[in-house]
Amino acid sequence: MKSMYDVIIAGGGPAGSYTAYRLAEQGHSVLVLERHRRAGEAVCCTGIIGRECADVFGIGDEVILRQANGASLYSPAGTLLHVQRDKPQACILDRAAFDAAMAERARSAGADFRFECRVTDIVAGTGGVTVQVSCRGTGETLQTKATVVATGFTPGLLRRLGLGDFKDYTVGAQAEVAAPGCEEVEVYFGDMAPGFFGWIVPTSPPMARVGLMCRRKPGYYLKNWMAQLAVEGKIASAEADIRYGGIPLKPLPRSYGERMLVVGDAAGQVKPTSGGGIYYGLIGAELAAATLHDALADGDLSAKRLSRYEREWRKKLGRELRVGYWARKLYEHIGNRRVDRLFEMVKSRGIDRAMLGMEDLSFDWHSRTILTLAKRQVAVQAMNLLKLPLRVAGFDRQRGK
């Protein structure tokens, strides 16, 4: 192991590994520290990415379990909306294989990895950074020129590093179960996940991922829902190991510091509408690597210099996060009865068919869909009828502008 690396990355998930890959590819010495025994272990993630993400970041078919053209959406009362397009819109990943492939890409480019190593503290000084690590229960001190925090939702560590607190977050719970006959993504709204939603995502037949998000007692709600699904014959059994994960709904107040950047879920680069973080995290990783490459070349790793990273990723993702969060809070506000009425309106007025014809409809860029749909007169009428607030990104409900 080197006496001092150019960059030490805390976290070997997709965002951390991709940052390592891009930096190592450009000739920098990089060490990735991952707290689990291997990449992809103990991941609580649905593993759905858009086709665009797979194409942009070269995600190969070997880690894609299946592709999805559409999904079935169920209202609290059971009203079904089926949305489908001719071409695949999303890919369902083998998360363990995907994480391992991303780590191997970084290793092939020259990055070093150490597993079962948890970063406990990071202290920046004038000549470098001291990283405190617990590796298999033994404390170590490592030196580096710069650090990247890619540890996922770890508010305690981020708070200690002086980067602030997440202003809003939720918790996801998920289990792998046998679900014979499940051939497409199913999304459920209602009391099984108050204020949020549940999902059944088919993987390798007959298996599927069943999960939900909610602000409190996610395990309680998921167990109850799985018991109901088992009675209905949707899944073979409600007995399954449940994994949990925190999901930021708003970004971290600051994603940079002296000799330090934060990427992925750790920075809150997550879709507030769905909780998906892979694509946005990879975009953040790309920008973080570019910022560090230039800063290392110039010998300037100050917070002022590294603040360029935050400006760049907020320029790229800021509107998505703002509009998505508005939509998220609106959904939490309206309640089951209004959700049922919206489903009925969407079906009766052909809004679902109109959405499928929208060029801006995207699996990854939700603000385009939200704003385009919000400005359609039929949606304005529905919002007025239900007395819902509809002011976002300059949109005026009364004028439809």
pLDDT exceeds cutoff 80 at 132: yes
265 in the same domain as 175? no
363 in the same domain as 313? no
Q: In whole angstroms, give the CA distance from residue 291 to residue 186.
A: 39
210 in the same domain as 358? no
Q: What percent of the chain has pLDDT over 90?
A: 76
159 in the same domain as 269? yes
- DSSP H stretches of helix in 5-113: 14-25, 51-56, 95-108
Q: In whole angstroms, give the CA distance from residue 19 to residue 287.
A: 9
User: pLDDT band at 399, cuts 50/70/90?
Assistant: very low
When mean pLDDT is compared across 116-120, 139-143, 300-304, 390-394, the lowest value belongs to 390-394
Number of domains comprising the chain: 3
When mean pLDDT is compared across 12-26, 56-70, 73-87, 163-177, the lowest value belongs to 73-87
| Helix, coil or strand: residue 157 | helix
**Residue 95 confidence (pLDDT):** 94
pLDDT exceeds cutoff 60 at 378: no
**Residue 400 confidence (pLDDT):** 37
**Residue 397 confidence (pLDDT):** 40
Q: In whole angstroms, give the CA distance from residue 140 to residue 284.
A: 29
pLDDT exceeds cutoff 70 at 336: yes
User: pLDDT band at 2, cuts 50/70/90?
Assistant: confident
φ and ψ of 80, to 5 deg: -100, 130
Helices 303-348 and 278-298, axial angle in degrees (round to 10): 160
Residue-wise pLDDT tens digits, 145-177: 999 999 999 999 999 999 999 999 999 999 999
**Residue 393 confidence (pLDDT):** 39
Q: In whole angstroms, give the CA distance from residue 365 to residue 317.
A: 9
360 in the same domain as 303? no
pLDDT exceeds cutoff 90 at 359: no
Cβ–Cβ under 8 Å, residues 133 and 142: yes
**Residue 86 confidence (pLDDT):** 80
308 in the same domain as 206? no
Sequence length of the chain is 401
The mean pLDDT value for 312-338 works out to 92
The CATH number of whichever domain residue 28 belongs to comes to 3.50.50.60
Query: Which carries the bigger pLDDT value, residue 291 or residue 380?
Result: 291
User: pLDDT band at 366, cuts 50/70/90?
Assistant: confident
Q: Which residues pair with 135 in a beta bridge?
A: 117, 138
The CATH number of whichever domain residue 179 belongs to comes to 3.30.9.10
Give the chain's mean pLDDT.
Answer: 90
pLDDT exceeds cutoff 70 at 382: no
Query: Which carries the bigger pLDDT value, residue 221 or residue 343?
Result: 221
**Residue 383 confidence (pLDDT):** 55
pLDDT exceeds cutoff 60 at 305: yes
38 in the same domain as 150? yes
305 in the same domain as 265? yes
**Residue 66 confidence (pLDDT):** 96
The mean pLDDT value for 186-213 works out to 97
Residue-wise pLDDT tens digits, 248-287: 999 999 999 999 999 999 999 999 999 999 999 999 999 9
Q: Establish how many alpha carbons lie within 13 A of residue 94's alpha carbon, considering only the half-sphere containing its beta carbon.
A: 13
332 in the same domain as 377? yes
Is 84 contained in some domain?
no
**Beta strand pairing call for 30-34 and 48-50:** unpaired
When mean pLDDT is compared across 53-57, 159-163, 226-230, 348-352, the lowest value belongs to 348-352
Residue 46 identity (one-letter amino acid): T
The mean pLDDT value for 182-206 works out to 96
User: pLDDT band at 212, cuts 50/70/90?
Assistant: very high
**Residue 244 confidence (pLDDT):** 95
**Residue 174 confidence (pLDDT):** 97
**Residue 124 confidence (pLDDT):** 95
Q: Which residue has the tokens 């694509």?
A: 279
User: pLDDT band at 387, cuts 50/70/90?
Assistant: low
| Domain end call among 248, 275, 298 | 248
- Which residue range(s) make up the domain with 376? 320-386
Tell which residue, 212, 228, 276, has the closest CA to residue 249. Answer: 276
Q: In whole angstroms, give the CA distance from residue 140 to residue 65.
A: 39
| Domain end call among 317, 337, 359 | 317
| Domain end call among 202, 224, 248 | 248
| Helix, coil or strand: residue 171 | strand
